[in-house]
Structure 1
């Protein structure tokens, strides 16, 4: 399954979304990158994690974080700005932010070997999450990754 399709499917599960947002907000993690790590593990794929981490960090610094910042800045009321107009703008920024996440995921997937290629057998999502987080140089507490892995592997799909 393609990464984007897999990510949409698992993220739609409430426990997965909650665990992802916790990793993003409380631990400063890049959710598309972590989902890519989990996807690689469960699909039995491999990639150079250091190259992927460099790609993610550059993208997040230049694209992801600025878009997220604009979206968040538009959340509270900003009188005398018309609230409806502000929300329309915020929705547009949110759509662009989501498209940015898709571009990042497609770029990460392009670094990944195909399933069934010589490489690892399918593994638990936690293995991929830990490996990706460690390669990023800023891993969160393991318990946060365990919550996401559990949600991915045990939520009704």
Structure 2
């Protein structure tokens, strides 16, 4: 298991089915950086509660709204036009790199928030993924199951 969040995410994202599951969750409005952080915390056995979840959301929310999402919006807006314009395609590639770097920065910030958090003391597993995604009848349960399977098959 990777100990730092960035390398953990790279490893998890490369597993079969994880990329499409994450993209699906992202298309449904979930913050994939928070989802991946949840998977990391869950795999490490870190105790979860509403206060900790609130800290993660407070860290991620502004960065997603002000940095990541505007870059993603611009990149996706240019998708079709970039197929016909080499200069725009090159700029779009640079935007994609900036978006990835912004996500890396967010993951580093999320990891910093978790420094010193204790592991689970009880025998009951902590379902970070479900807490980040919302209630049990969330429409993205299949994507969450794919992530959970990838985590368990590591």
Superposition deviation, residue 141 in structure 1: 3.9
Deviation of 1:78 after TM superposition, in Å, equals: 6.1
Residue 94 (1) aligns with residue 92 (2)? no
TM-score when scaled to structure 1?
A: 0.80
In structure 2, what is the Cα distance between the partners aligned to 1:61 and 1:153? 31
Residue aligning to 1:33? 34
Which residue matches 1:153?
152
- The superposition leaves residues 15-68 of structure 1 with CA deviations (integer Å, 9 ceiling, x where unpaired) of 11111011111x111111100011011012357110111221211111111110
In structure 2, the partner of 1:73 is 77
The equivalent residue for 1:132 is 132
Task: Give the Å deviation of 1:140.
Answer: 5.3
Q: Is the 8 A contact 1:45 1:112 kept in 2?
A: no
Q: Give the alignment's TM-score, normalised by structure 2.
A: 0.82
Task: Report the CA distance shift for 1:145/1:99 in structure 2 as closer, same or farther (over 3 A).
Answer: same
Write the deviation string for residues 70-107 of structure 1: whole angstroms up to 9, x where unpaired: 1101111269xx61111110110000000000010000
How big is the shift at 1:127? Answer: 1.5
RMSD value over aligned CA atoms? Answer: 2.6
1:102-156 Cα offsets, whole Å, 9 max, x none, are 0100000001134xx64316987x8121122349xxx6543432222123333xx
